[in-house]
Structure 1
Amino acid sequence: MQTSSSSSSSSYTSNGEHSKRCISSLLESSCLEKPLKIPKTKEEEEEEEEEEELMSEKNPRIQRYLIAIEYIGTRFSGSQKQKAECRTVVGVLEEAFHKFIGQPVSVSCSSRTDAGVHALSNVCHVDVERISKRKPGEVLPAHEPGVVRKAVNHFLQKNEGDITVIDVRCVPSDFHARFKAQERTYFYRLISGPEPLSTFEKDRAWHVSEELDLASMQKACRILVGHHDFSSFRASGCQAKSPIRTLDELNVSELASTPYFPSIVERQNSILEQDLLNSSCLSENELSLKSSIPNPYSVTGSSNSSNKGFGQLRSHRCFVVTARARSFLYHQVRLLVGLLKCVGTGNLKTDDVQRILNAKTVTAASPMAPAYGLYLGNVKYEFP
């Protein structure tokens, strides 16, 4: 009996030890397994970037510069860095800075522009630590803004020459080009007329062969300006948390088609016409004189264009849409311009504008205007 009891006891002990070893091995194997990676949201990525920037604030040797740049967007795949083989505004700018200071930098843009979109003034910030090339451990005083502008432009001109630094300013280490922006202004150029577009305007404006009704387009602008839900003018892929935006300005104006070099007669007639328009009271003779003045903005097919000599380009009309707001939704300006164009050609009535705005779906909007007519005009800041 004792033998049986001791045998049973030893069997129980060995089984218990075996179970413990199994549990221990399972725990060890589970600890060695890598946890599943949860993809980060855009907001989390931006928060990490901000944390990295806050860490850089603690380094007094780093100087942050605010850089204003202009560029022709034709040969760029947008402003933001993408794949290695894609040529982008930020990528070219970082490369120029790297050649200038001898170490890599990270450039942050105030506004993202798509492939083909131009900028009269986009703004970025970049942190630079000036280290002596002769004595790598020696930290030197920060470069003056004028030196940065001249040096970076030197390297940019060796890379296609389609981007230029137009202004540089020293700012505090917590000044963010994107989040500190108070206002952004975009311009969109439309060239109207049945004649082929000038070679000088290629990839610089949207050529609309039909005649555009300026008054109808301006009426449509008055409906769209203000505080609205712009879901109908928000392209898929927009990462903004809300479609609510305040459009501070939206208007259409007519300007001289460029390149335009008026003759002395045209300039004199233009001055005379402006004087007559500014007059508070026009006599019958003055009204008759005003109607006889040739209009340099007239569309091809008018009596003025028929007087063009051989080898002279027929006149077009140039319209510029101005959109100004603190921030815009993805493709909002191009969708707005697409709608205004349809109103200008008569394909849509001004009543349709309110209907499309109220629909709150991008499927109700008109086809989007092409990228190459869009210009980021200005980014406004309040400096400390």
Structure 2
Amino acid sequence: MTDSLQRLAIGLEYDGSGFRGWQIQREARTLQAQVQKALSRVADEPVEVTCAGRTDAGVHATGQVIHFDTRAVRPPRAWLLGGNSHLSPELSFHWVRPVPGDFHARFSARWRRYRYIILCRTTRPAILRRRVTWTHRPLDAGVMDRAARLLLGEHDFTSFRARGCQARTPVRTVEEIGVHRSGDFIHLDIRANAFLHHMVRNIAGVLMAIGRGEREVEWVQELLRVRDRDQAGVTAPPDGLYLVQVGYDPRFDLQPPAILPTYG
């Protein structure tokens, strides 16, 4: 132990299907509670963690980033292997490194990248049942990609956020987006400076309706114009959603890799 605090950042992967989301809740199994318990065991003192993006129930991550402060002095191997030995099997730490005291996993992030995976075939999945979103109806990935690209740039995403979203502004900038097919699987990749509550799942729901031929590509532009969540259709399930990468200010010298789950 030392009298001074040090700040550490850790890369985290998890299968969120058995959890009530990230944030600690009373009488609920949450990811944050699991992580804090494991790191507190290694530090031999209470540890509180902050994540880059608070994922909802059933949502997964391959590139989540957390930070925490501690007086405990441990080598990186101890944080990784010791921490993983106290985590449930659905979670795993991948890397750890010291960061400056003004680093913040959430507020220092310049962008986040998500992948949404859809299994498009007649029969439902078994092994992947909680890791992809399944539809038995055909989807046109090319049409979905054309529609998705209309979301590029800065827009008011009111039509694409949850009704209970507490963000101060619905304006976000989508920096990259694309849809591509790999066999029976369709991947939606999106990177933005920040995301609203349910934003990716609502985008996926709209694109799936367009991919089924129920709506035209131009529906995306109409939804951006009307700024009305009630007109945007259903929220796609959480099962196929993954937080895959977080980007930070270069001065932190922290460049977490993109870990893209790929099926097909």
Common topology (TM > 0.5): yes
| Cα distance in 2 between the residues matched to 1:245 and 1:353 | 15
Following superposition, the deviation at residue 60 of structure 1 comes to: 6.0
Q: Indicate conservation of the 8 Å contact 1:100/1:152, yes or no.
A: yes
**8 Å Cα contact 1:145/1:170 also seen in 2:** no
Offset from partner CA, 1:137-192 (integer Å, 9 cap, x none)? xxxxx222222111101111xx3x10000110101122111111121000000011
2:226 is the alignment partner of 1:359: yes
Query: What is the CA–CA distance in structure 1 between the aligned matches of 2:124 and 2:30, rounded to whole Å?
Result: 30
Which residue of the other structure, out of 146, 149, 172, is the alignment partner of 1:219? Answer: 146
Q: Secondary structure of 1:195's match? A: coil
Query: 1:79 corresponds to which letter in structure 2?
Result: W
**Cα offset, 1:113, TM superposition:** 0.2
Q: Does 1:251 align with 2:178?
A: yes
Question: For residue 50 of structure 2, what is the aligned residue in structure 1?
Answer: 108
| Residues 90-112 of structure 1 deviation map (CA, whole Å, 9 limit, x = unaligned) | 10011111222221111111101
Quote the residue 2:122 is aligned against. 194
Q: Are 2:142 and 2:180, in contact at CA under 8 Å, matched by a contact in 1?
A: no
Tell me, in whole angstroms, the C-alpha distance in 1 between the residues paired with 2:177 and 2:3: 43
Q: How far apart, CA to CA, are the structure 2 residues paired with 1:204 and 1:215? A: 23
The answer to whether the 8 A contact 1:186-1:377 is kept is yes
Match of residue 201, structure 2, among 334, 337, 340: 334
Distance 2:8 2:210 in 1: 43
TM-score, structure 1 as length reference: 0.63
Matched, 1:319 2:197: no
Cα deviation for residue 355 of structure 1 reads 1.2
User: What secondary structure sits across from 1:350 in the alignment?
Assistant: coil
Shift of 1:347: 0.8
SS of the residue corresponding to residue 336 of structure 1 reads helix
**How many residues are paired up?**
250
CA distance in 2, matches of 1:60, 1:250: 46
Q: Does 1:373 align with 2:240?
A: yes
Instruction: Determine the C-alpha separation between the residues in 2 that align with 1:194 and 1:184.
Output: 33
Q: Any runs of at least 4 consecutive aligned residues in structure 1 with deviations exceeding 3 A, and if so which? A: none
How big is the shift at 1:76?
0.9
How far the C-alpha of 1:195 sits from its partner, in A, is: 2.1
1:119 to 61, 77, 83: 61
Number of the residue aligned with 2:80: 149
Give the residue type in structure 1 aligned to 2:115: F
Which structure has more strand as a fraction of its residues?
Answer: 2
Checking the alignment, whether the CA contact within 8 Å between 2:42 and 2:78 is kept in structure 1 is no
Q: 2 CA distance for matches of 1:320 and 1:68? A: 23
Any residues of structure 2 matched to 1:295-306 within 5 Å, and which?
297=183
Q: Say whether the 8 Å CA contact 1:80–1:90 is kept in structure 2.
A: yes
Distance between the aligned counterparts of 2:98 and 2:44, measured in 1?
20
SS of 1:87 mapped into structure 2: coil
Amino acid at match of 2:8: Y
1:154-303 aligned at under 5 Å gives the runs: 154-156=85-87, 159=88, 161-197=89-125, 199-255=126-182, 297=183
Counterpart position of 1:73: 16
Which protein is richer in helix relative to its size?
A: 1
Query: Percent of aligned pairs with the same residue?
Result: 38
Q: Deviations over 1:281-304 (max 9, x none)?
A: xxxxxxxxxxxxxxxx3xxxxxxx
Residues 1:97 and 2:39 are matched in the alignment:
yes
Does the aligned pair in 2 maintain the 1:68–1:165 contact within 8 Å?
yes
- Residues 44-102 of structure 1: CA deviation (Å, up to 9, x unaligned): xxxxxxxxxxxxxxx9621111011000001111011111x111111001111122222
Structure 2 unaligned spans of 5+: 254-264
CA distance in 2, matches of 1:66, 1:239: 27
* Residue aligned with 2:127, SS: helix
Letter in 1 for 2:57: A
For 2:3 and 2:179, the matched residues in 1 are separated by 48
Deviation at 1:249, TM superposition (A): 1.2
Q: Deviations over 1:312-337 (max 9, x none)?
A: xxxxx100000101110111000000
1:17 alignment partner in structure 2 = none
RMSD of aligned alpha carbons = 1.3
With normalisation by structure 2, the TM-score equals 0.91
